Amino acid sequence: MTRTTPFASKLPSVGTTIFTVMSKLAADTGAINLSQGYPDFDCDPDLVEAVARHMREGRNQYAPMQGVPALRQAIAAKYDELYGAQYDPETEVTVTSGGTEAIFNAVAMAIQPGDEAIVFEPVYDSYVPAVELNGGRAVVVPLRAPAYAIPWDEVRAAITPRTRVIMLNSPHNPTATVLSSADLAELSRLVAGTDILIVSDEVYEHIIFDGARHESMARHPELRARSVVIGSFGKTYHVTGWKVGYAVAPVELTTEFRKVHQFTTFATNTPTQYALAEFLTARKGYPELSAFYQRKRDLFLRLIEGSRFRPLPSRGTYFQLLDYSAITDEGDMEFALRITREHGVASIPTSAFLYKQSAPKVLRFCFAKKDDTLERAAERLRRL
């Protein structure tokens, strides 16, 4: 007999995330995992030692709800240095248990039942569920292929009196595009005179290529005043499993954000925060990150030369989209499963990020891997 829950699902169309599915398949089949976005190399051993040292020194109890003061101060100093943005570490910086928690908190504080949030597809998988769990409706605006540009005319048409939030992601997962200064100028004109909140997912802020500048919402005063800007130490320091992120926002937004945060996780791992504060204060890790990953991107592109995959531009993040239309007419999920099982390389089908559009013949590959891993994966991809 089929058993059902005695309540209606809040997310009836949601199953296990594609990241879990593909990583499990890679593990089960022994495939090279270029699907889920995490490195297969370790972080700086000094960072591990710093965490252990703070554990030995007894910093093992609850951190302050807002985050360890030293880390909040270091985050505020970084935003001042990089973007000329002054955030008060006491009232405008909050440490969270990963970027995903920060995204959820920002949506939860703003969305009431019946409210609308504009999202852009391909859309990272946690955005729409966060909106729906809080009683809102996600208004999906497709990015314009092949450049995955924001169609600002369509955004303007999508705004209604119920629009409360616009959710942005730059550098963008999965398309690896970045917002330009022209995009932010359009956004400024669009939201002027409204009460629309911007939730800006900038977890890949330090991974941007070819001399481009990261256009953080924090850099632009008129946008900063209405934005919750979200960052992640997991991406910056190669420690995705530590799940430490943060949000910076004006005091009136942070006050509401913290009301949600304190009943979501309350506090984040204490010794880890102290160690990250040391690294951030010393400017360790992030200044050289773009060059580090640009070399990885360029290596991966060189390695797949001669294959039938066609690379799309990767301007940031540690992801590379590959068009496979010259190989097969299969749908992207079918093809991704087949090459994992038969050729031993796991990727992510971009249909997992789509709600309105039909899926193009494009897969997402993660190049945050050891050179040897990329070499072995590319050798297999060249055979297709």
Per-residue pLDDT tens digits for 254-271: 999 999 999 999 999 999
Mean pLDDT over all residues of the chain? Answer: 96
pLDDT of 375 above 50: yes
Residues 74 and 188 grouped into a single domain:
yes
Q: What pLDDT score was predicted for residue 357? A: 86
Question: What CATH number does residue 37 fall under?
Answer: 3.90.1150.10
Specify the pTM: 0.96
pLDDT mean over 80-85: 98
269 and 306, same structural domain? no
| Domain harbouring 122, CATH code | 3.40.640.10
pLDDT greater than 70 at residue 206: yes
What pLDDT score was predicted for residue 3? 63
User: What are the structure tokens assigned to 66, written together?
Assistant: 């807002």
Confidence tier at 323 by pLDDT (50, 70, 90): very high
Whether 90 and 213 map to the same domain: the answer is yes
Q: Which of 245, 265, 281 is the last residue of a domain?
A: 281
pLDDT band (50, 70, 90) for residue 5: confident
**How many separate domains does the chain show?**
2
Beta bridge partners of 311: 322
Residue 155 domain-assigned?
yes
**Domain assignment present for 318:** yes
pLDDT (tens digit per residue) in 93-151: 999 999 999 999 999 999 999 999 999 999 999 999 999 999 999 999 999 988 999 99
- Cβ-count burial of 82 within 10 angstroms (0-12 exposed, 13-18 middle, 19+ buried)? middle
Q: What pLDDT does 17 receive?
A: 87
Whether the per-residue pLDDT at 34 is higher than 90: the answer is yes
